[in-house]
């Protein structure tokens, strides 16, 4: 899927008669089918839902890394702030319980997504402008430490306003809506979350692959100076990357609120760690890889519970990461946002 292996493929394809692309399609399908059979539909959906949230956060990590090679440690906290923005929005509008009117529910959910994503996108741009941009030519460690500082600031600001407690997020999506499917009970909310996440990922792929701005992003990621010489507005491109990454974190925050109904100022740490792992697992800088990594982590965690090793979930996740990095140091799908065609 990345440029480098693709060239190899092209070389081999002449002799290998297209067997590898087929295998590439078959292996993932086989894994998904095996997971479905092993876990059963309910746990499969649980894993997908969990993975979808990790994936949405991981996208922001990977995009920022791809374009300015910064591990944005504050990104997990952007997700946390996003969940507080969405819960404040809903609480301010006076919602506290489930909304059973489908039309109203749809309007409220869309409004919450738009509000949270716009607010978070703007916060992301502001943070980039004031915290990272001045350090763009500084040694790499400087923005890294700054990112950790931003992470603390975000946590403390949220703690200042909401206290150090778990805060309730209105569960506007009714708990009682579910699909009966082959004896399994699938919450509609989970299906909704999975669809939203996939929708956003596809939109992001199209944006990066098909639009002018997306091309600027790829160009900047590949070679910033060359892109600048070719007339790409670097500052604007980087700002847009932060805008989109942070908006996706905002979306993840909304989804988190709908699904779990509770947020706390330190939620971003765990989520950020998992999402960062997902990004590295998939190949940091690679958006498809980040999404894939998110789902893989979701599946590993749920499979650990199903197998009776739930306590070992985090250990298995990081063990997998180590093994993958030993054999594929660049992650499953390889690095670099920019070289993807």
Partner 1 sequence: MKFARVGVALAAAAIVVTACGGSGGGAGKALKIGISLPLSGSALASAGPADKGARLAIKEFTLAGYTVAPDVKDHAVNGVHDPQQGAKDMTAFAADPTVVAVVGPFNSSVAKVQIPISNEAGLLQCSPANTNPDLTKGDAGKQLRAKQPDKINYVRVATTDDIQGPAVAQYGYQTLGLKKVAIIDDTETYGKGIADAFAAEWTKLGGTVVGREGAPKGTTDYTAILTKFKDSAPEAVFYGGVTSTGGGLVRKQMPQAGLGDLVYLGGDGIQDGPGTTDGSFINIAGEAAANSFSSVAAIAEYPGKADFDKKYQAEYGEAPGAYSASGYACAQIVLKAITTAAGKGDITRESVRAAATDTATTFDTVLGPVKFDAVGDTNQKIISLYKVDLTAAGGKGDWIFDSQVNYGN
Which residues form the interface with partner 1 (CB under 8 A)? Answer: 42-43, 46-47, 49-50, 97, 159, 163-168, 175-176, 178, 185, 187, 189, 256, 259-262, 265-267, 269-271, 301-302, 305-306, 310-311, 314
Q: Smallest distance, Å, CB 197 to partner 1?
A: 15
Q: Tell me how far the alpha carbon of residue 31 is from its chain's centroid.
A: 21
Q: How far apart are CA 169 and CA 53, in angstroms?
A: 16
- Torsion sign over Cα 46, 277, 58, 294: negative
In the bound state with partner 1, the residue whose beta carbon lies nearer, of 167 and 237, is 167
In the bound state with partner 1, the residue whose beta carbon lies nearer, of 129 and 314, is 314
Q: Smallest distance, Å, CB 175 to partner 1?
A: 5
Q: Smallest distance, Å, CB 180 to partner 1?
A: 11
289 contacts 333 by C-beta, under 8 angstroms: yes
In the bound state with partner 1, the residue whose beta carbon lies nearer, of 144 and 261, is 261
> Which helix (H) or strand (E) is 144 found in, with range?
helix 141-162
Q: Smallest distance, Å, CB 162 to partner 1?
A: 9
116 contacts 251 by C-beta, under 8 angstroms: yes
- Centre a 10 Å sphere on the Cβ of residue 227 and count the other Cβ atoms it contains: 21
Residue with the two structure tokens 């509770």 = 262
Closest by alpha carbon to 267, among 123, 88, 79?
A: 79
Q: How far apart are CA 120 and CA 85, in angstroms?
A: 8
39 contacts 302 by C-beta, under 8 angstroms: yes
Residue spans of beta strands (DSSP E) within 74-171 = 167-168
Give the CA distances from residue 188 to residues 135, 176, 181, in Å, rounded to whole numbers and listed in that order.
45, 9, 12
In the bound state with partner 1, the residue whose beta carbon lies nearer, of 114 and 305, is 305
Q: Smallest distance, Å, CB 224 to partner 1?
A: 37
Q: Smallest distance, Å, CB 178 to partner 1?
A: 8
Burial track 281-318 (b if 16+ CB lie within 10 A, e otherwise): bbbbbbbbbbbbbbbbbbbbbbbbbbeeeeeebbebbe
Q: Smallest distance, Å, CB 328 to partner 1?
A: 27
């Amino acid at each position: 899927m990345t440029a480098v292996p693709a060239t190899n493929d092209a070389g081999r394809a002449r002799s290998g008669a297209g067997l590898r692309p087929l295998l590439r399609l078959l292996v993932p399908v086989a894994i998904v089918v095996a997971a479905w059979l092993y876990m059963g539909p309910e746990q499969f959906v649980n894993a997908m839902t969990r993975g979808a949230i990790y994936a949405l956060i991981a996208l922001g990590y990977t995009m920022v890394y791809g374009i300015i090679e910064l591990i944005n440690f504050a990104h997990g906290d952007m997700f946390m702030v996003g969940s507080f923005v969405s819960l404040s929005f809903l609480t301010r509008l006076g919602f506290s319980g489930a909304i059973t009117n489908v039309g109203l529910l749809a309007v409220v959910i869309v409004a919450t997504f738009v509000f949270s994503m716009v607010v978070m996108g703007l916060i992301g741009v502001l943070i980039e402008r004031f915290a990272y941009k001045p350090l763009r030519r500084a040694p790499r460690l400087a923005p890294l430490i700054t990112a950790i500082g931003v992470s603390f600031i975000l946590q403390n600001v949220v703690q200042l306003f909401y206290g150090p407690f778990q805060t309730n997020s209105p569960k506007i999506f009714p708990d009682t809506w579910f699909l009966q499917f082959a004896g399994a009970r699938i919450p509609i909310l989970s299906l909704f979350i999975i669809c939203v996440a996939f929708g956003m990922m596809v939109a992001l792929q199209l944006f990066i692959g098909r639009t002018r701005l997306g091309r600027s992003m790829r160009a900047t990621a590949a070679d910033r100076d060359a892109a600048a010489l070719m007339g790409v507005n670097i500052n604007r491109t980087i700002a847009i990357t932060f805008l989109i990454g942070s908006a996706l974190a905002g979306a993840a925050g909304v989804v988190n609120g709908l699904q779990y109904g509770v947020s706390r100022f330190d939620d971003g740490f765990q989520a950020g760690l998992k999402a960062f792992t997902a990004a590295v697992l998939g190949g940091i800088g690679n958006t498809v890889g980040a999404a894939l990594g998110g789902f893989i982590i979701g599946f590993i965690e749920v499979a650990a519970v199903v197998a009776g090793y739930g306590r070992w979930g985090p250990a298995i996740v990081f063990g997998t990461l180590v093994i993958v990095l030993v054999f594929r140091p660049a992650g499953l799908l390889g690095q670099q946002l920019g070289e993807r065609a």
